[in-house]
A and B are shown apart, each in its own frame.
Chain A
């Protein structure tokens, strides 16, 4: 790709970008949120057409007008948001849209060949809506290879995967590389960049800033290039000041709609000025536990006691979510699709701020002034990059969306802050910004619950770590003394015991 430019409205998403990819290599595309990585790749995949610049494939200049055109050139992209038909089975999705007539057994045969060759695990007859995120992703990749792609683009494939699933994905990627396929991977996780790629290409604000050979670089250098200045890669962990019990959770049980017990006899307490990290494989009851505390999820039994500064106790179970929030218990949960829980995509920033405050006054009309001020403040302090306060949040990049969500929860001056996946999909710089924010809350004496995916971060930021396994607490450990392996073991230990029992 040479001199590629693409404008949206008046903003240049890509500005004269050069990009090379050689046969049989894995290249990481690195850049902050909104630096134009996805846009660049979408042009390669035929979703957008560049305003300027040329694309060469195999030495020949090409114009990629449509995704079909990209497929014909052997380019395939796996998007961040999967493009699968939920009610179809895996193989139906894989052959969907291929014009040549296929007889089913031959197609399935080809699918299983692809799987064997690269080590995919796919049940071709399983319906998409029954699949986990990781399985869906596998279907997407198989789909792309099925169409004969030699160049694969993976847009943040690991953002939604557990560490184990990531490892499996990398294994597959290495197999594909050995087979001569070229892969472009977009990711924010520097350790993944180091682990998987041969080369790193870095974009900043839509421009190409340079490339590094993975073998001869380190996370610090990459971050500095990405951000454009030196960034500190340590997370501070201030000592808790006068910790006092703020929230006492006792024997909570939660059953979901399908009758599956998601949280089993969970008991713990949270201190003011402390960060309690929660580790666990995704789906181990983190979401249900947080929702139960915030009053959104019904509990079967157990109690959640909130103790204020003066030692007055309040039972939260059975209270209206709005009243719980008014007590000072704030929940910011970043779901897998980022939007959808907590924010309304089509509303602008100040309207989204209003979501929390509009219920407070008992007047008929909404107060628009206050949320606007909060919005101004959040945009200002967190350096949210947005054309204005009236921009619908869905138009912002993922990182900025998350800043707004977390910023809103913090702006209400909570006493207890529950945050889940606060840095999901965020770039390094924004992530550290969020860590700082959380630490600031801690210093103010807020009791923080931090559900995270990245164990390294979890161990750096938390004072204590509670490890969940299959809805139960396997242990609560001191974050300073525990090792990553120990946590990993705790995360899976119950599951292992169960599997052997079956």
Chain B
């Protein structure tokens, strides 16, 4: 009974508006603490000097001009997928089918490249690639949205399952188009004619996805924040009943939004197949359809914050590859470090939203300090 007489050791109060500066400071602090914890874990488990590990992570991402470009290219791809998902997330429509939508976009692009090589002028092929990849991506978004609109199916399940269908379709076409026969791979498409290879911008083969990402970021920001569509998306997501009351057609908004979301994912597929890899495999999305969910959530659906979150993830991922080779560690070690850092970044939101009070004596001290 005695313990009940006492005030709790810590109790929490919800903070109201925290100034952006303070919130930023908490986040920076979280990263620093995360790095310290990572250092301790590295030291204890591997005995390697953590600073060496850190510098090789940086070397992995920015070690050479080529590495730097690839890092930014990867950031762009992840960012575009995250942005497309965000449009749906704002509607509380949990589109975790980014993977499949990207794959379908890639399939559309590859199909045009393979089937139309030499039959149509290159420019026309590219336009058709754009159309077909966006169309197929949008189709993969449309089907779950239609099911949700008609029968109120759970979109998390349906978008997820659409991923597997997309993978199987790509595998099917890989066998159909394999070069050479029996290899089970498509290989580089149109290696000689370069039909459907997306143009280099300013002489750089890395710049196109980056520019597209910049445009998409601006577009998504304006779309969700300033357009009527964006407003409707929010109302539908927050309160479907209210939407009905003010005369918003909820089904229409579901479908329209998922067309945009899926279409943008399809566009990413085009960039991957036509611009970066010049081939199609079933793993071309490389799990980024799922990673993008994390990117979007961590950024709290803010398009500009997503630039940062997608950068952190790509940076750590590329660094992880580097330390794996340099220190002869398992690639998973890099993932452990990424996990620790993400844990702190996500966890610090708690401290942004809540204030912690220790038992009276200490709070008084704190107050004195604050004064």
Contacts and interface: CB of A to CB of B under 8 A. Distances in A.
A61 B5 contact: yes
Contact of A9 (B16, B227, B230): B16
A96 interface: no
Given A320-B247, A341-B242, A356-B246, A10 B16 contact: yes
B234 interface: yes
A359 B246 CA distance: 9
Contacts of A381: none
Nearest to B225: A366
B245 to A, nearest CB: 5
Interface in B1-60: 4-8, 11, 13-17
Contacts of B234: 344, 347
Contact of B228 (A321, A325, A365): A365
Contact of A355 (B4, B5, B13, B235): B235
Contact of B239 (A8, A321, A340): A340
A102 interface: no
Interface in B105-119: none
Contacts of A354: 231
A358 B228 contact: yes
Contacts of B6: 63
Contacts of B238: 344-347
A8 B242 contact: no
B16 A296 contact: no
A355 B245 CA distance: 9
A255 interface: no
A359 B228 CA distance: 8
Interface residues of B, number: 27
B16 A49 contact: no
Contacts of A321: 245-247
B346 interface: no
A8 B14 contact: yes
A342 B245 contact: yes
B67 interface: no
B231 A49 contact: no
A502 to B, nearest CB: 34
Contacts of A358: 228, 231
Contacts of A320: 247
Interface in A334-381: 335, 339-347, 351, 354-356, 358-359, 363-366
Contacts of A63: 4-8
B8 A49 contact: yes
Given A9-B15, A322-B247, A365-B227, A62 B239 contact: no
Interface in A286-300: 295-296
A8 B4 contact: no
Nearest to B7: A63
Interface in A209-261: none
B244 A342 contact: no
Nearest to A392: B238
B226 interface: yes
A69 interface: yes
A386 interface: no
Contacts of B229: 364
Given A9-B17, A62-B4, A347-B238, A366 B228 contact: yes
